[in-house]
Amino acid sequence: MSSSLILSHINQWLDDVVIGLNLCPFAAKPRRQQQIHIDIFQGNTETELDKAFLQALDELQGMDAHERETTLLVIPHLLQTFEEYMLYLQQAEWLLQRAGLEGTLQIASFHPNYQFDGTDPNDQENLTNRAPYPILHLLREDSLADVLAKYPDPESIPDNNIARMEALTPEEIQRLFPHIK
């Protein structure tokens, strides 16, 4: 699959789902200011992914937040099952810690088959973390702390997102999440 097609899918998901449904109330501003970097990993091995992940950490850490606020590392050719993805997420957390960036950067996780603990695979609340491809979303902890401090009742965000997902009609789900089988 071409990088341009993958990028198109990610941009549509960002605009229609993440921002359009206001799942992340902090995403619209960096999107408008072109501070969200989308890195499409085209490799085929976890060793290559480790290198790409470390490079993405290094690049984000080395840039000013006004230039790059966050990075989406999109992984279209690996980690196709949610179990594989969750195992790699543990590896990514370990790499983040080993790089000395725990407390500076954090990882948010998205996958086409994302499933929260204690839910059924088809529960609509899982849609909050479903994306067209496996994604490791790298966030700056200081930026996140700043926006959370200014947001009224940030603890309500997950419950509000679940309510939004549960209110979607089957037609809306099909339109917003065409990648879900």
**Tens digits of per-residue pLDDT, 45-78?**
999 999 999 999 999 999 999 999 999 999 999 9
What single-letter amino acid sits at 40? I
Farthest CA pair distance, the chain: 45
70-74 and 135-140 as β-strands: parallel, antiparallel, unpaired?
antiparallel
Q: How confident is the model at residue 177 (pLDDT cuts 50, 70, 90)?
A: very high
Does 109 have pLDDT greater than 90? Answer: yes
| Residue 88, H or E segment | helix 82-98
Q: How confident is the model at residue 1 (pLDDT cuts 50, 70, 90)?
A: confident
| Token pair of 77 as six digits | 């050719």
